[in-house]
Each structure stands twice: as C-alpha cells, then as structure tokens.
Structure 1
C-alpha cells in the first residue's frame, strides 16, 4: 500500500517559494526522507544524507561542496552536523540566490536552538508526524489506532511484524538516536522512565510522584520528559487557566504522540488486547487529540480542568476563535455539566464532541457531535459539518 501525502507536499512547495531555508522536522522514521526524495532524487548531487558516509565525506569541506550548487538542496538528518547552520546563513544570504535548502531533522527547534538563532528570518519550519487518519482513510482507522502512524509499523504485513518493528525502533532510538542528540542518559534508564510514562498517558503529570517512583530528583525527570518531547515521542499538553475564581489545574497532561509506541510499551499485541486494557479509553482519547491537531493545525492547543471536576479535553485557538473538543468513546454522547462549564467559563465559539459513531447531530446551542470519521476528510469536512448546524467554522476565514 502506498499513501500519498499531498498536503505535506503542497506545504513544502509553498514554503520553498517564500523562504530560503525550509526545515521539515519530525520523529525518526515518519517519512521525511521519502517525502524529500519527491523533490530531489537520492542520487542527485544536491542530496546529502548525513547518515551516509559518502555524503559525510563530500561535506568534509562544506563550503566547497555547497556553494556551487543551484536549485533545491536537501540535507537530511541535519542534527548530526549543527555546525552547518552558520554556513547555511551565509549561503542563503547571497544575491541573487542560486539555491534554496530543504533541511530534515529528527529533533525539535528547541533541541536545535542554533538553527532558530542562526537562521532567524530565513527559516520556515514544517512539522511532520507519521501517517494521519486523513492520509490512510477511515476504513483503516482501527489499524491506525492500534499500530500507530509510523509508516513501517502501519504497513507491516502482520501485527507480529508491526510489533517487531516498533520494538526495534524503541531500541534504536534509545541506543543510537538519543546519544546522537548529545543525550548522555543510559538507554536502560531512559527506557524505564519512558515505560513508566505509558501509565501516565492521558493523565495530569505529577513530576514529584514520578521522581519518587524513579528515585531521582524532580529536575531530572523534567529533563528526561523534555528530551522525549523534543524528540517527538510524547506531548505535554499545557493547561489553559483564566481568572475565574475557581481552582484550576496548572500541570500538563501527558500523551504519547504515537499510539503504536504506547501500545508497545503497554504490551498490547493485538486488537483484542487493546479493547480489554484499562488504558484503552485513555489511548483512544490521545489518538483523537493527535488527529484533531493534525487536521486543524491550530495556532495553539491546550486542555482545561478545575479541581472541582470540570474539564475540556482540548481547547484550540484557530483563526481568532476558541473551539473546544471533547473525545467521547460512547454510542450517543450527551451534554454534561462539564461541557456547560467549559462553554461558559472559556467563552467558546463552539464545542465539538467527537465519537466513534456514524451520524452528526446538534447537542445544544454551540455544541455539535461529530463522527471521528470526519477527521479523515480534514478540517474542511469539520467546517462543512459545523456549518450545517449554523456553527462558527474552525478554519481561518
């Protein structure tokens, strides 16, 4: 099976028309290299793979190798040679500009701080993840949830092959990828911490409790978590709090970015295991949240909760609007006191309730229930469905 990624291709094409350097960042093995080769073939002199000894040898004298190239130049796994960033600034400041650069990285801009500082005003960042539900299609939703979006895990011939790939991915990530980013933590310690985080998936993260269980300081576990977030393995969903006269949660919620990796950590081998596991509901919630963020691409995303029990799974700021999202794995969601509180206290333009059913329906004024399948059609489908019920659209006008 081949799943095209036209939206990402379009985003890269547009970015290259307006920016001198475009960074395509995302976790290892999410398809960045495959996508980049749609723009520049791997055997081109304009393609540099910094895990390839030949490319590394060509870059022994980087100015000599790069300054004569024209058109689009691709540099893959840029985090292996951070000293290239100052050189890229020089090359992309030439007039007229003979070449633009597409750089690929497996670390967040915070972990590649030199890039954002050196290339300020010249760099546009595009974030990439594994396959989205919109890319694989709603008929593949169960497999997508179970195996996650990493292409080689999702496309494996069997569940056993998918599990084997994810097990090897985790081992390689810990033993090779993290050390390449300058992380000195032992692979065994980081695996134990990462495995512990699987049981916090979908919960408010308590650094003090984790530190006690892990027998290290709070600052240490926060650093470990930041490393995993910077490598796109976990998401810390930040809390939104306003002056309401109510005690509100001010710690982040923790989610694995890829449910396939989560299920590997939890020891879930097949679909039946997933349905019966006590973390099944939290896994589904995290899956829906990631797919909403991919589909909508909001300006900002948070969760909201009070100590009295009111909460909102996802608060999106998009196109100047506030849109709430609730994830309900039930046959027919109903309006709850928590939803009413969120509508009023957060001044939501609209509240969307996503569920695994097939029929959209209005639940109350400014509250609409939508099938999860709508995410497979992108934000346009969400817009159209909301418009039917007279709702404010979620995409920018």
Structure 2
C-alpha cells in the first residue's frame, strides 16, 4: 500500500505556521507518527517509548530539550510529562513557529498536561484511523458491510492483514496495555466482558446501572472504565441535544466506538456476510456514519458538535449536528430500500425546530429531496 495523504494535512501545516507546538493525539496505531514524519521529513524524530531517551528526558529535561530543538517530533510524549513545563519556557524564549510536533495516544493525560502548561502555545489535532474517503480506491465499490468489518487502521491495510487476525491482537496488545497503565484494573477478564457488553449496546443509551448489575461492580467503576476507553480512543459518548424545545428530553448519552473494525471484533463478526442477520447490523451502520461525520470535522481541525435527540415519548433523531450556526437533523438507516416512514422522526423533530435542516443517510441509491428532506447514500456524507 502506498502512503495515503491524510485529510488533516492542510490544517496541520497551517497551524505549524502559527504556533510553536503542534500536538497530534489519537488511538494507538492510527498513523500519528507516520503522518508527522511525512508532514515534516526534515524534523528530527525522537521516540520517547525508548527507555534510554525517556530516561534522558526525565532526569535532565532542560538538557534534553536544548539537545533537540529547531524542528523536532517528540513521539509518545505522555510518558514524560516533566517536559511540558520546560517546553513552555524554551518555546517562549525562542518564539519559533512550528518548532515541535508532539504525538501521543492517551488523550486525557496529554490534554491535561497541555491545559496546565502549554495553553496558548500549542495547537491540538486528533488523528483517527482512515476515513472512507482517505482510503480512496481501496474503499470505493465495497459494501458498507465490508467497510465496517475492515475498519480504518493503517497497518491492517499496509500489510493486508485479515480483520480476524488484526483486531483481536490490537485489542489484546493495546487496549489491555493502556488499561493497566491508566487504571489499576486487577480483573482484566471482567473488564474485557465490560468491553464486549458495551460493544453489544453500541448506539444505545449508556445505562450504568445495567452494566453494574450484570458485572457485579459499582456504578462508579463502570463510569471509570468507560472513561479509560474514552482516554484510549476506543469508545466515546454522544451527548443528547441540550435544547429541549419545551419538551422533556432524555439526557443520558449514547455510546459509539472510534473504529468499526474493533467493534466488529468485539462482537465476534469476522466477515461482511456475518452481518446479514446480526442483531447489531443497524447499529454498526449508524456507528460508521457517525464516525465519518466526526472524522470530517476533526480533519478540518474542528471540534465536532454532534448529538442525538429523544423525548420522553420515544420520538428520536439519530444525529444532530450544529455547524456554521445551523442545525442539521440526520436519520441513519442501513436499509438499501427507501421507505417513507424513514422520514417520520425527522418530520416530527422539525415541528419543534422548523429552522433546522433534515437529511436521511441510508444504504440505498436515491439522491433526491422529499418534503424538504435530503435523501442520499452514505458515500454522499
């Protein structure tokens, strides 16, 4: 596989010209280091996972940073949080735009340290696995079921690894490693069960008490375990929309996964045809669409404003997006055949938000407008 340009490239180059530091975070193996080195091949690359370099940076951070300056990529910097304060001082002294690119996998630690030490000096970008459009010809013409099972991790495509080989090893190697390092989980078997249960409830409201009862753990532990998955870019919460339009609304978030290949592996799905009669078929398609919209915004350097909406009468819209002062209501259906009742929830929502726009994204081929609602295939995202 040739290297694919990431759509975040233009934004990254723009920010490098304005800030002394660019931080790139995201899941393990999402391509952060490859991207940074392709973005600035003339920069010195320093991998802080190497014990000798990590030791140097920890014991004498000032000497380390004076040794590495004027164009440096610092990989996995979350392992040496001592560097952040010194980066603040030295970049203020030198005042050079684009002097450092930082990469790291653990979102919470990296963001927390940056908030404390580097506010105003650093630009942050999130790099997720490949989007459908980044994959280009490798994805075009494939069914959505194939796209979902394959996921988007670069190494899987680089070495043409079968999903059934790649993702179980990814889960074992990276998720469990991060869990041990971020949180002292003694019973990894129970955590793995929690992860599988969560996968089975993708696209559903996150019910802490339900997980607590099934696993025999308290709700505080359930919430902390989900936070670990968010920290490691494995799963995320989609909040409910905050405006109630004078109606009672459900405020509990839904849960989705940052990669559908990981999600399929957790559900025991190995081949696209396994999805034909699978109970999570619709949820997986929904996860794919939500992810593509999220990646599109992140690749522009934007914070995605994505929500769902449900009132106390179970009227629901799968996805709401606020963008450029407008509200877009989106219904997501995995069916290839259009049915008029697909528009029911959107029409109901527009009664309370007449200024909103509405869209149906589904697996069929219609590309038209009906009753003011745009209907289109998922490739038209």
TM-score by length of 1: 0.87
> What secondary structure does 2:63 align onto?
helix
- 1:57 to 1:107, Cα distance in 2 relative to 1, 3 A: closer
Name the CA distance, whole Å, in 1 between partners of 2:50 and 2:109.
25
Query: CA shift at 1:78, angstroms?
Result: 1.2
Do the aligned partners of 1:333 and 1:355 also contact (CA within 8 Å) in 2?
no
- 1:7 to 1:53, Cα distance in 2 relative to 1, 3 A: same
- 1:125 to 1:98, Cα distance in 2 relative to 1, 3 A: closer
Query: CA shift at 1:156, angstroms?
Result: 4.8
> What secondary structure does 1:67 align onto?
helix
Asked if 1:352 is matched to 2:366, the reply is no
Indicate the residue corresponding to 2:214 in structure 1.
Answer: 213
User: Using CA pairs below 8 Å that are at least 6 residues apart, which structure has the higher relative contact order?
Assistant: 2
- 1:157 to 1:45, Cα distance in 2 relative to 1, 3 A: closer
Do the aligned partners of 2:107 and 2:232 also contact (CA within 8 Å) in 1?
yes
Asked if 1:144 is matched to 2:147, the reply is yes
Asked if 1:20 is matched to 2:30, the reply is no
Name the CA distance, whole Å, in 1 between partners of 2:251 and 2:95.
50
- 1:373 to 1:333, Cα distance in 2 relative to 1, 3 A: farther
C-alpha RMSD of the superposition: 2.1
Do the aligned partners of 1:144 and 1:154 also contact (CA within 8 Å) in 2?
no
Name the CA distance, whole Å, in 1 between partners of 2:308 and 2:98.
42
- 1:345 to 1:45, Cα distance in 2 relative to 1, 3 A: closer
- 1:305 to 1:155, Cα distance in 2 relative to 1, 3 A: farther
Choose which of 332, 342, 350 in structure 1 pairs with 2:349: 342
- 1:306 to 1:291, Cα distance in 2 relative to 1, 3 A: same
- 1:156 to 1:260, Cα distance in 2 relative to 1, 3 A: farther
> What secondary structure does 1:317 align onto?
strand
Q: Deviations over 1:264-316 (max 9, x none)?
A: 11111111112221111111111111112222456411100112121111111
> What secondary structure does 2:9 align onto?
helix
> What secondary structure does 2:119 align onto?
coil
Do the aligned partners of 1:237 and 1:303 also contact (CA within 8 Å) in 2?
yes
Do the aligned partners of 2:16 and 2:22 also contact (CA within 8 Å) in 1?
yes
Indicate the residue corresponding to 1:393 in structure 2.
Answer: none
Name the CA distance, whole Å, in 2 between partners of 1:38 and 1:172.
26
> What secondary structure does 2:114 align onto?
helix
Do the aligned partners of 1:234 and 1:257 also contact (CA within 8 Å) in 2?
yes
Name the CA distance, whole Å, in 2 between partners of 1:301 and 1:267.
28
Asked if 1:319 is matched to 2:324, the reply is yes
**Which aligned pairs between 1:2-41 and structure 2 lie closer than 5 A?**
2-41=2-41
Indicate the residue corresponding to 2:338 in structure 1.
Answer: 332
Do the aligned partners of 1:133 and 1:141 also contact (CA within 8 Å) in 2?
no
Query: CA shift at 1:5, angstroms?
Result: 2.4
Query: CA shift at 1:358, angstroms?
Result: 2.6
Query: CA shift at 1:46, angstroms?
Result: 2.4
Query: CA shift at 1:348, angstroms?
Result: 4.4
Do the aligned partners of 1:109 and 1:115 also contact (CA within 8 Å) in 2?
no
Name the CA distance, whole Å, in 1 between partners of 2:265 and 2:292.
19
TM-score by length of 2: 0.90
Gaps of 5+ in 2: none
Indicate the residue corresponding to 2:156 in structure 1.
Answer: 153
Indicate the residue corresponding to 1:294 in structure 2.
Answer: 295
Do the aligned partners of 1:3 and 1:136 also contact (CA within 8 Å) in 2?
no
